[in-house]
Amino acid sequence: MDIFSPIDGSIIAEVPDTPPAEVASAIGTAEQAFADWSRRSPIERGRVLRRAGELMLEYEEQLATLEARNLGAPYAASLAMVRRAAGSFIYFSELADKVTGDVIPVDGEYLTYSVREPHGVVAAVVPWNAPIIFATKKLAPALAFGNACLLKPSPETPLSALQLESILLEAGLPEGLARVLPGGRATGEALTGDPRISLIVFTGHDGTGKAIAAAAAKNLVPNALELGGKSAQLVFADAPTNRVVDGVVSGVFSNTGQACIAGSRILVERGGSEQLFRGLAERTRRITTGDPLAPGTELGPQTTLAQKEKTDRMIRNAVEAGATVLAQGELPTAPELAAGYFVRPTLLTDVTPEMEIVREEVFGPVAAVTTFTTEEEAVALANDTEYGLAAGIWSTDAARVHRVAAALRAGTVWVNTYGVISDRVPFGGIGRSGYGREGGQAAVELYTRHKAVWTSLHRDEATADILL
């Protein structure tokens, strides 16, 4: 497969496309490696993962440059992604030996307890918008809790994942326990459709998520799907304008808008809308779009040509449907970037609830701004979506914040901030945004399964009490 840089459209690498036969072989090898790894002590597993995290930090400049060239994110943002990804290995290395069971009181003379065990071979499929983060988000907990893990990165952005595989081997992970299988649809179908897979975890588009859920159902395999979003940011009139402008813009345009959590529906209370509109428009126009490796760049290109074309098309469709372009940033003018996948950051007003730009995920640097009058109207507008991944509230009224947070239909709600993520906190969506949770104790629940053990304490005879 040719791997393109979105900065200038050039080919920066060639990566083998993993055929189904090789996928099948990798699963068999992973099963064998799992048999040993699952018996190792959690402390030993934790040491290997901690070393992997430390090695990532040693190689952070190389990894960040690789990610910037392949993904198109500014170098500073790519470096932050690498450090956060390294933190995933370190966090789960420390959680590996904290997984405990329970002694359960029951009727009769029994010692009854539960333990948590790894599933086996985990299939992880990740998207192209934050490849190094999503790779470690799957690999780290799967390996920490004793599983094997086969990772299929997006065919557009496999480079950092392949580097991660080398780092894990250098850290001491057994050969074959964690493999990266680059490829397209055939590779993914071979991986998720194999009956030897014990758990499937996926992040990406909801259409692909439905196909993966169907494959999992066929083999009765548990799965977790983190899908798209169409998140709202509710801005009340009492929120400080200067702070809100920077926070809202960051919540929309970070990573060129290529984030499932992007707060692209901006709902503004009418009492403070005029001043906020001016601030948002001015800040949008000042966004510096350009080469991700150049100092001062705030917004890089879209990662794929197809995504650039989709974003441009959705902006045109919105204007034709009656939306107004309130503000746009500038495209880079450097000749060497002329073939790059750049899109002007765009702020739209005069949108209506039925418009495509309001209903569907753009996955680009585009925000739709509308107004509301009452708290109830704001909540109704925010919840008027098939998605349910995230939402943001900007207000200094503590009582209102908690009322609105409780009323919003979303897996995560941020208050007076946006987009903060931690491995310690459960994350996932509802509705069209998928199901299942990753992070913290939720990751323990996802990547392990319960086993109950009953031991008779009767002295003289065996018992067979069947309790229904």
Counting Cα atoms < 13 Å in the Cβ hemisphere of 64 gives: 19
Q: Are strands 110-118 and 448-456 parallel, antiparallel or unpaired?
A: antiparallel
- Strand pairing partners for 180? 151
pLDDT above 80 (res 134): yes
The per-residue pLDDT for range 4-62, each reduced to its tens digit, is: 999 999 999 999 999 999 999 999 999 999 999 999 999 999 999 999 999 999 999 99
Of 44, 67, 189, 226, the catalytic one is 226
CA 225 vs CA 45, 115, 134, 432, 450: distances in Å:
26, 25, 13, 10, 21
> What is the Cα–Cα distance from 177 to 34, expressed in whole angstroms?
6
Q: Quick one: pLDDT at residue 463?
A: 59
The answer to whether the beta carbons of residues 446 and 224 sit under 8 Å apart is yes
Contact 93, 142 (CB under 8 A): no
241: exposed, middle or buried (C-beta count within 10 Å: 0-12, 13-18, 19+)? middle
Whose CA is closest to 230, among 189, 260, 275?
260
The gap between the terminal CA atoms of the chain, to the nearest Å, is 56
SS3 content of the chain, % helix, strand, coil (to 5): 45, 20, 35
* pLDDT tens column, 210-221: 999 999 999 999
- Residue type for 249, please? V
Q: Average of pLDDT values for 100-129? A: 96
Residue 325 has pLDDT above 90, yes or no: yes
pLDDT, one tens digit per residue, over 413-438 is 999 999 999 999 999 999 999 999 99
Burial of residue 89 (CB within 10 Å: 0-12, 13-18, 19+) is buried
Q: What is the pLDDT of residue 459?
A: 77
pLDDT digits (tens, 9 = 90+) for 330-389: 999 999 999 999 999 999 999 999 999 999 999 999 999 999 999 999 999 999 999 999
254 is written with which tokens?
A: 């970070």
- The number of residues making up the chain comes to 468
Listed residue (255, 252, 206, 250) closest to 226, CA to CA: 206
Whether the per-residue pLDDT at 461 is higher than 70: the answer is no
Tell me where in the chain the CATH 3.40.605.10 domain(s) lie.
2-227+429-453
Sign of the CA dihedral running 71, 73, 75, 80: negative
In the predicted model, is pLDDT for residue 462 greater than 90? no
The overall longest dimension of the chain from CA atoms, in Å, is 88
**CA angle, 363 then 215 then 450, to 5°:** 100
Helix and strand numbers (H, E) in the chain are: 15, 18
As a CATH number, domain 232-415 is 3.40.309.10
CA 436 to mean position of chain CA atoms: 12
DSSP 51: H
For the chain, give every residue range classified as CATH 3.40.309.10: 232-415
Give Cα 116 to chain centroid, integer Å: 25
Averaged pLDDT for residues 167-191: 98
- Which pLDDT belongs to residue 467? 53
Place of tokens 């031991």: 455
Instruction: Assess if CATH 3.40.605.10 describes domain 2-227+429-453.
Output: yes
Q: What is the pLDDT of residue 464?
A: 60
DSSP states of 210-240 = HHHHHHHHHTT--EEEE-----EEEE-TTS-
Residue with token string 């099963």: 31
Strand, coil or helix: 434:
strand
Q: List CB contacts of 334: < 8 A, sequence separation 6 or more.
A: 290, 291
- Active site annotation includes 226: yes
Helix (H, G, I), strand (E, B) or coil at 368: strand
Helices (H), 287-374: 305-320, 356-359
CA triple 351-342-62, angle to 5 deg: 130
pLDDT in the model for residue 466: 59
Which stretches within 38-130 are classed as H helix? 42-58, 60-71, 75-95
Amino acid at position 448, single letter: T
pLDDT, position 274: 86
Q: Which of 137-151, 271-285, 299-313 has the lowest mean pLDDT?
A: 271-285
Joined together, the tokens standing for residue 462 give 């065996």
How much is the mean pLDDT over the chain? Answer: 96
Return the pLDDT at 465: 60
- For the question of whether the overall pTM of this predicted structure is more than 0.75, the answer is yes
Tens of pLDDT, residues 220-270: 999 999 999 999 999 999 998 888 999 999 999 999 999 999 999 999 999
Write the DSSP assignment of 17-29 as a string of letters: ---HHHHHHHHHH
